[in-house]
């Protein structure tokens, strides 16, 4: 067994995040089904807290950046959003997104 094959495989975070961004609209509809598109943003209730009105939780569909302006939670891509919404690590979220999109999550 070579040294290269004994090393743990690294997640290709940038590639997974870029591919997820290409499908941001579909992922937003799936993960935040109560939301709606407003321009280049998906505006929804935050499912991780008691949130009755849309407006404070937004996902930028062009950049992948998201934030809950009521709680201060925020992230820079759809991997971090999946991790936040579903209680996953960044690695677990990247792997799940890659699986959903049918791509290899590794470098």
Kindly list the domain boundaries of the chain, sorted by start residue: 23-101
> Which of 3-17, 21-35, 60-74, 83-97 comes out lowest in average pLDDT?
3-17
**41-44 and 57-60 as β-strands: parallel, antiparallel, unpaired?**
antiparallel
pLDDT at 77 over 60: yes
- Dihedral-angle region of residue 18 (phi above 0 means left; psi in -120 to 50 means alpha; beta otherwise): alpha
Q: How far apart are CA 37 and CA 67, in angstroms?
A: 15
pLDDT tens digits for range 15-60: 999 999 999 999 999 999 999 999 999 999 999 998 888 889 999 9
pLDDT of residue 3: 55
pLDDT at 4 over 60: no
Q: Which helix (H) or strand (E) holds 5?
A: helix 3-6
pLDDT at 1 over 90: no
pLDDT at 105 over 60: yes
CATH assignment of 23-101, given 3.40.50.720, 3.90.580.10, 3.90.1200.10, 3.10.690.10? 3.90.580.10
């Amino acid at each position: 067994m070579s040294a290269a094959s004994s090393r743990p495989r690294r997640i290709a975070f940038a590639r997974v995040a870029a591919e997820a961004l290409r499908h941001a609209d579909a992922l937003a509809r799936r993960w935040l089904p109560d939301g709606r598109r407003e321009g280049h943003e998906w505006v929804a209730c935050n499912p991780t807290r008691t949130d009755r009105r849309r407006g404070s939780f937004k996902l930028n569909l062009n950049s992948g950046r998201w934030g809950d302006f009521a709680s201060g939670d925020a992230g820079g891509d759809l991997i971090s959003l999946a991790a936040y919404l579903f209680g996953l690590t960044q690695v677990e979220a990247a792997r799940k997104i890659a699986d959903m999109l049918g791509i290899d999550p590794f470098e």
